[in-house]
Amino acid sequence: MKNLERLPRDPFEAFVAIRSAKEGDRRRTLDEISERIRQRYTDYQNHATELADLPAAEPPFDDEQCEALSHCYKIETTPLEHLKQAILEYQSREARATCQYCGIDYPATFDHYLPRDGKLSEFSRFPEYAVHPDNILPCCYVCNRRRGTSWRKDGERTCLHLYFDNIEVKERFLIANIEFEEANVPTTHFSVETDQKVNQEFGRRYQRHVDTLRLRDRFRRQAPARLERLRADIRSLPKRREYGIDDIQTYLREMAAAQRGLLGANHWEVALLMAAAESRDFIEYCLHDEGP
Ligand SMILES: [Zn+2]
């Protein structure tokens, strides 16, 4: 997991551009509430690191205003298309290829961190942020569906904000464990460990993120294929027959460290590589001549 990069421009410009592509009653409605939207954009920035405390719009936007605001995102316009493109293009190669909520799938959709749905209760809907660039996060279908519209529970946010939470902590919270329950079939379990960590606040937030997106189960399903590729890598090393377990362990540790720099300390592949490096059973399984 790595942070997404925020677009280096005034977020309100996006609203202004998209508003200008509207006509008739909607355009009039958006013009009328323009100053309120500007203020709400400022509120978002002011609460960026603590969005759980962001108050709902007061008074709430009425049905007509909600409709016009949602329309800004729901209906494709050239400025909206440009905005989505700009958000994607501004990301790292890794983030353009892989959803940073999970680190598994292609980011084929955009998630609204604060839900834009006008049908929700007035305390949990934020149609005013339908086209706020910092509220639009590239992510995969599965994460988008799992997030749904419930972004806060018991006063705490359910998922990490990829622009505003510092998710590139050095501390490791995600731990993988490789076991051989059946002969020659490695199974992997993932857990989040928060005990005796320095950054407890991040740990709790990361734990909620993992639970909400059901990541442990999703990581577990990715692990067998990744381990098979790792086994193939090890078996293709030129001097494999001369290497002992300790040599492979060093190789795997170095690989894990390199991936950690690239993907972040709490990426599932990093946790898996570190578990592989510490599992003598796994290394023996890789060096063994039997099998596929
Ligand atoms: Zn995802």
As a whole-number percent, the residues of the chain with pLDDT over 70 amount to: 96
As a whole-number percent, the residues of the chain with pLDDT over 90 amount to: 78
Structure-block tokens of residue 92 = 């790292």
Q: Say if residues 29 and 63 touch (Cβ distance below 8 Å).
A: no
If you count them, how many residues does the chain have? 292
Residue 280 has pLDDT above 60, yes or no: yes
C-alpha dihedral (89, 94, 97, 103), degrees to nearest 10:
-130
3-state per-residue secondary structure call for the chain? CCCCCCCCCCCHHHHHHHHCCCCHHHHHHHHHCHHHHHHHHHHHHHCHHHHHHCCCCCCCCCHHHHHHHHHHHHCCCHHHHHHHHHHHHCCCHHHHHCCCCCCCCCCCEEEECCCCCCCCCCCCCCHHHCCCHHHEEEECHHHHHHHCCCCEECCEECCCCCCCCCCCCCCCCEEEEEEEEECCEEEEEEEECCCCCCCHHHHHHHHHHHHHCCHHHHHHHHHHHHHHHHHHHHHCCCCHHHCCHHHHHHHHHHHHHHHHHHHCCCCHHHHHHHHHHHCHHHHHHHHCCCCC
Q: From the CA of 239, how far away is ligand 1's center (Å)?
A: 38
Residue with more model confidence, 182 or 285: 285
Residue 289 has pLDDT above 80, yes or no: no
Residue 10 has pLDDT above 80, yes or no: yes
Q: What is the pLDDT of residue 22?
A: 95
Q: From the CA of 105, how far away is ligand 1's center (Å)?
A: 6
Q: What is the pLDDT of residue 288?
A: 76
Region 39-54 average pLDDT: 94
The verdict on whether omega for the bond into residue 79 sits within 30 degrees of 0, i.e. cis, is no
Region 268-282 average pLDDT: 96
Q: From the CA of 38, how far away is ligand 1's center (Å)?
A: 31
Q: From the CA of 243, how far away is ligand 1's center (Å)?
A: 38
| Predicted confidence (pLDDT) per residue in 89-129, tens digit | 999 999 999 999 999 999 999 999 999 875 666 666 899 99
Distance CA 167, CA 181 (A): 34
Q: From the CA of 88, how far away is ligand 1's center (Å)?
A: 15
Q: From the CA of 109, how far away is ligand 1's center (Å)?
A: 10
Q: What is the pLDDT of residue 120?
A: 62
Q: What is the pLDDT of residue 292?
A: 44
| Predicted confidence (pLDDT) per residue in 162-208, tens digit | 999 999 889 999 999 999 987 778 999 999 998 888 889 899 999 99
Q: What is the pLDDT of residue 135?
A: 97
Q: Rounded mean pLDDT of the chain?
A: 92
Q: From the CA of 213, how far away is ligand 1's center (Å)?
A: 8
| Predicted confidence (pLDDT) per residue in 230-247, tens digit | 999 999 988 877 888 899
Residue 42 has pLDDT above 90, yes or no: yes
Torsion sign over Cα 221, 273, 170, 44: negative
Compute the radius of gyration of the chain from its Cα atoms. Answer: 23
